[in-house]
Amino acid sequence: METSGADKLDKILNLLETPQHKAKLPVEENGRITLLDPDEIVLASISGRNVVVKTRNHSYETGYTLAELEDRLGLLRTHKSYLVNREMVREIIPWFNATYNLVMNDQDKSEVPVSRTFLKPVRQALNL
């Protein structure tokens, strides 16, 4: 069974990962692979059939699932369609039914919903 280039890259990155260093996330764009530092990632969301990973200045479509990114990067699930980097939350806006919208620390000041399903873990993670 032949392994894809992405699988080989993931294996190499996993070998380089140490407890002090989180593995970088390889994302492909225009035939190039960019290695994103997990601390650069602001949020991940579902867009159509793809998952988009957003940094402060750029968005990348990926082949990852939200569950894979949640496990791999330790991002915080806020909604069935959203993950956030808790260090990149800029503002918390109370919303209806005791939920919230999170304003993120990117150039667009993206707003991310917090659904009732994930309200308790988000409150705990953000010390609310």
Q: Just give the CATH number of 5-125.
A: 2.40.50.1020
pLDDT digits (tens, 9 = 90+) for 84-114: 999 999 999 988 877 889 999 999 999 999 9
- Cβ contact 94:33 at 8 Å: no
Residue 20 has pLDDT above 50, yes or no: no
Q: For the beta carbon of residue 118, count every other beta carbon within 10 angstroms.
A: 18
Residue 28, SS3 per DSSP: strand
**pLDDT, averaged across the chain:** 85
Q: What is the rounded CA–CA span in Å between residue 128 and residue 118?
A: 13
Residue 71 has pLDDT above 50, yes or no: yes
What's the confidence (pLDDT) of residue 100?
A: 87
pLDDT digits (tens, 9 = 90+) for 2-13: 555 567 666 666
Tokens of residue 34, six digits: 């960019």
Longest dimension (CA), the chain: 51
